[in-house]
């Protein structure tokens, strides 16, 4: 028999369950959620009883999720995202632009490009709160993991409102300290004589780019490897070798020299997207417009 509304499991039980999944222990979940450890323990026990399933087993390293717990994880994460979106929507009710907007962007864009854009936005709307999520993984706007996303790929879902900004050009660069005393490459083949900075594990974008540039974007060609774009940029700025950088970003630093511009250029299509249901939200609308304007100006620097 289906559970009545009164018999349904409360969200707080799933919230504690997800906290234990993410933290690996009752104490860690309690700290993350701001409740006591006994409270988390009671919630997990109550959820196990309600579902008739064992969700965790004890081990020397903490609590290990059972297959039943892992099967529930995606649903609990979706509930958590929806609850957070509900809170953001509630915070935006009232007169004027106010409340919280969750923006997601890649590491480089989030650290190097968006801060001045968001600073101007905050100055114009003091009651606006911005949550900036840095991730090279696509956050699901349909599941409300974020309100607005700056994406380097065209959105596929029809429920998303999207604005194409243009193509951010990627090019090969090196710090002048690295090039001092070394021959400047004039052909792609010359890169074999240099220390290259690149990835450790390939992504779909890298695989696609590698097809057009066989032999150049291969893991074994890199003397320094990292899957963090920020780490690669830091290595480039430190003079560790030759790496790929956004052309507009490199032009802000006179010490970075653009190499082989005619032989090597990768376009990175850039979009600002949000769920169409948020188009009438003042907080999301002004944030969306500010991102479009700011990123358009950034592309103009190239």
C-alpha distances in angstroms, 17 versus 52, 142, 186?
A: 14, 23, 58
Task: Note the pLDDT of residue 155.
Answer: 78
**In terms of DSSP bridges, do strands 160-175 and 266-275 run parallel, antiparallel, or are they unpaired?**
antiparallel
Helix axes 37-51 and 26-33, enclosed angle (nearest 10): 110
Task: Note the pLDDT of residue 145.
Answer: 77
236, 173 Cβ separation under 8 angstroms? yes
Calpha distance 268→207 (Å, rounded):
14
Calpha distance 249→234 (Å, rounded):
13
3-class DSSP string for 7-75: HCCCHHHHHHHHHHHHHCCHHHHHHHHCCCHHHHHHHHHHHHHHHCCCCEEEECCEEEECHHHHHHHHH
Task: Note the pLDDT of residue 7.
Answer: 54
Task: Note the pLDDT of residue 242.
Answer: 95
259, 233 Cβ separation under 8 angstroms? no
What's the topology of domain 167-268?
Answer: D-Maltodextrin-Binding Protein; domain 2 (3.40.190)
Task: Note the pLDDT of residue 1.
Answer: 42
Decide if 5-89 and 167-268 have a common fold. Answer: no
What's the topology of domain 97-159+276-297?
Answer: D-Maltodextrin-Binding Protein; domain 2 (3.40.190)
Domain boundaries, the chain: 5-89, 97-159+276-297, 167-268
Q: What is the CATH number of domain 5-89?
A: 1.10.10.10
**Residue bearing tokens 């099967």:** 71
Planar angle of CA 147, 246, 234, nearest 5 degrees: 95
197, 223 Cβ separation under 8 angstroms? yes
Per-residue pLDDT of the chain (302 residues; tens, 9 = 90+): 444 444 567 888 888 888 888 888 888 888 888 888 889 888 988 998 888 889 988 877 778 889 988 988 888 888 877 777 677 666 656 666 888 898 999 999 999 999 999 999 999 999 999 999 898 766 555 556 788 999 888 877 667 888 999 999 999 999 999 999 899 999 988 998 999 998 888 776 676 666 656 667 788 889 999 999 999 999 999 999 999 999 999 999 999 999 999 998 888 899 999 888 788 888 889 999 999 999 999 988 75
């Amino acid at each position: 028999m289906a559970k009545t509304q009164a018999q349904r499991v409360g969200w707080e039980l799933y919230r504690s369950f997800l906290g234990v999944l993410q933290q690996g222990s009752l104490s860690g979940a309690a700290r993350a959620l701001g409740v006591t450890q006994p409270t988390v323990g009671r919630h997990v026990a109550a959820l196990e009883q309600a579902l008739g399933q064992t969700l965790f087993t004890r081990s020397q390293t903490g609590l290990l999720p059972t297959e039943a717990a892992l099967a529930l994880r995606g649903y609990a994460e979706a509930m958590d995202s929806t609850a957070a979106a509900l809170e953001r929507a509630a915070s935006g009710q009232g007169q004027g632009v106010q409340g919280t907007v969750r923006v997601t962007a890649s590491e480089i864009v989030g650290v190097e490009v968006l801060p001045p854009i968001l600073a101007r936005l905050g100055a114009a709307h003091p009651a606006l709160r911005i949550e900036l999520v840095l991730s090279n993984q696509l956050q699901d706007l349909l599941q409300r993991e974020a309100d607005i996303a700056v994406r380097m790929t065209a959105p596929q879902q029809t429920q998303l409102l999207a604005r194409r900004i243009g193509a951010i050009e990627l090019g090969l660069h090196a710090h002048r300290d690295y090039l001092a005393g070394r021959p400047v490459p004039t052909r792609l083949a010359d890169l074999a004589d240099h220390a290259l900075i690149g990835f450790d594990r390939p992504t779909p974008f890298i695989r696609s780019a590698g097809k057009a540039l066989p032999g150049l974007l291969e893991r074994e060609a890199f003397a320094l490897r990292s899957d963090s774009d920020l780490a690669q940029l830091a290595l480039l700025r430190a003079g560790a070798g030759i790496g790929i950088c956004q052309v507009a970003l490199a032009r802000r630093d006179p010490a970075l020299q653009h190499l082989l511009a005619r032989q090597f250029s990768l376009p990175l299509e850039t979009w600002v997207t949000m769920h169409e249901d948020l188009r009438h939200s003042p907080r999301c609308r002004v944030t969306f417009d500010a991102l479009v304007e700011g990123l358009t100006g950034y592309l103009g620097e190239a």
